Chains A and B, each alone.
Chain A
Amino acid sequence: MKANVYVTLKNGVLDIQGRAVMDALGSLDFKELKDLRIGRFMELEVDAATPEEAKARVTEMCKSLLANPVIEDYRVEVAE
């Protein structure tokens, strides 16, 4: 079963990479850009009986290693 994990910086945590990339786009004349934040996207392939089970296990993976709760949020999507 395929699972997608999105790890993003929490609101309020300064995203310096995102800021640098945003400034670069601004200098390329993309003046409409209001905000840009950089995160991490991971594709996982897991053995699980049901999508619910897969989601629960991948959530455990996020808690133990894939995200740092001090600065990051995460979101798990399992393909049905």
Chain B
Amino acid sequence: MKFAIIVFPGSNCDHDCYHVVKHVMGQEAEYVWHKDCSLEGFDCVILPGGFSYGDYLRTGSIARFSPIMAEVGRFAAAGGLVLGICNGFQILCEAGLLPGVLMRNRALKFICKNVDVRVESSQSAFTSAYKDNEVLSIPVAHADGNYFASPETIKELEDNGCVLFRYSTAKGDLSPEANPNGSLGNIAGITNATGNVLGLMPHPERASELALGNTDGKGMFESIITSFA
């Protein structure tokens, strides 16, 4: 399976994603510069974390106009798997490939720590390696992860099973205390209606190797590879 890792000016998790895909998962991986216009031959696209365009104006707002994004839109419309992590999630929202927006964290602080995240469904190309309601410990590192959308959009996401990850306690309870950033519904990650585009704030690529003390995120890459096989 061949992964494209999009590199925007200011991406800083691109190398982590490349390393996990290539060296941990043993798949093909290539960097794709944001000014490129083709995703020919790729099976999955990753929009990595970072601070594209310095987060100027709003996070992801300028990156969405990079030439590659039109192609990412076509790739997604054709059913291709797209994974947006952190800043990648913010870009997907600004690009309209996912609904809603990531606002400034409730406490107005940058948060960098492991958080507990509940897998809402294993019936997804991104979560088949997990069990329903399994709780993962995965790092977040963001200042703008406070998910917001209109009540109608939230209802649509909930009704269609598009909420794939929620911040929870280690036991899987959705308490307000377990919500690090104020996201509506403790939302940590959502898919589009067709389920082939996922955006999430936690960083699975930082939790995919025993050497880093945490492999809870590896299942996401395993799921993607399984869905392709």
Contact = CB atoms under 8 A, between A and B. Distances in A.
Interface of A: 13-14, 16-17, 20, 65-66, 68, 70-71
The CB with the most chain B CB atoms within 10 A, among A17, A20, A66, A71, is that of: A71
Overall SS of chain B's interface: loop
A66 B57 contact: yes
A70 B101 contact: yes
B149 A65 contact: no
B42 interface: no
Nearest first, the 9 A-B pairs at minimum CB distance are A70-B101, A71-B101, A68-B101, A68-B58, A16-B104, A16-B108, A16-B106, A20-B108, A71-B148
Given A16-B104, A68-B58, A70-B150, 18 more contacts: A16-B103, A16-B105, A16-B106, A16-B108, A16-B146, A17-B104, A20-B108, A65-B57, A65-B61, A65-B62, A66-B57, A68-B61, A68-B94, A70-B99, A70-B101, A70-B149, A71-B101, A71-B103
Contacts of A20: 108
B110 interface: no
A70 B148 contact: yes
A16 B58 CA distance: 15
Interface residues of B, number: 19
Interface of B: 57-58, 61-62, 65, 94, 99-101, 103-106, 108, 146, 148-150, 182
Nearest to A70: B101
A70 B57 CA distance: 15
18 contacts: A13-B148, A16-B103, A16-B105, A16-B106, A16-B108, A16-B146, A16-B182, A17-B104, A20-B108, A65-B61, A65-B62, A68-B58, A68-B61, A68-B94, A70-B99, A70-B101, A70-B148, A70-B149
A14 B181 CA distance: 13
Contacts of B99: 70
Contacts of B146: 16
Given A68-B94, A70-B150, A71-B101, A17 B108 contact: yes
Contacts of B61: 65, 68
A62 to B, nearest CB: 12
